[in-house]
Structure 1
């Protein structure tokens, strides 16, 4: 086997890593306008969709462990965008819900995906294909763990 197998330009993981960093950096100016970091934005996206999720569900949806998720949620609580509530039937379960302020932020955030796509004149069908392929690979690999 040739050493070329280890060349950085031959690594799919590097291409995806580099693309992920680039896309995340493109979100930054839009997220600064609403005072969110990219990981905080991801948490809010889940909550705007579901309104109430427990920490376990949130971690599963975002592929994040509790150690990463807890500080994110804590900062969002400090910003008064979300709140924690214990389940009355089982106090071990903690639900995260959006506050009124968090719900209002959704209106401002709705324009972000469109602004991002329009700023780069990207063909939406190409992005949709890329997303579908990335999801397909993720689902294949994650079911074989």
Structure 2
């Protein structure tokens, strides 16, 4: 039986695996910077940075949440999350208070202003979809692929 090279082997022979444009990390880094940059002018009128927007998205899904729960949902360390929460509290979108059942836990809740901001934020996804020039199906496929990447590197 002869051993015929697979398409992957053929491609590996003709593609420089160390070329910058061949690197998954490079593509992801450039895409992430670009997408986050696309959010910047849309979020500025709301007084939010992209990381603050992510916190608000998590709180719009469920509020109150403990800092620990938020950190897990956003995959952020407490040292990164804490300043974000302080700034959001400072602009009046969230409040922080000790958990009634566990004094060690800190609950983060939306304020009335934070809840009201959700209505304005409903305009963000359509603007991003328009800027990216991708269909909803393409974006769903991309999210699925990225979820697989996140799961793979999270398991490593």
Q: TM-score range by the shorter chain?
A: over 0.9
In structure 2, relative to structure 1, the CA distance for the partners of 1:121 and 1:6 (3 Å cut) is closer
Correspondences of 1:1-145 after superposition (within 5 Å): 4-142=16-154, 144-145=155-156
| Structure 1 residues without counterparts, runs of 5 or longer | none
- Residue 4 of structure 2 corresponds to which residue in structure 1? none
Structure 1: which 4+ aligned runs deviate by more than 6 Å? none
Query: CA offsets per residue over residues 67-104 of structure 1, 9 Å max, x none?
Result: 10000000000001000011122110001000001001
Query: CA offsets per residue over residues 33-69 of structure 1, 9 Å max, x none?
Result: 1110000000000000101111111111111101100
TM-score (norm 1): 0.92
How far 1:120 moved relative to its partner? 4.2
How many residues are matched?
142
TM-score (norm 2): 0.86
- Residue 9 of structure 2 corresponds to which residue in structure 1? none
Range with bigger deviation, 64-73 or 85-94? 85-94
Task: Find the residue that maps to 2:55 and give its secondary structure.
Answer: helix
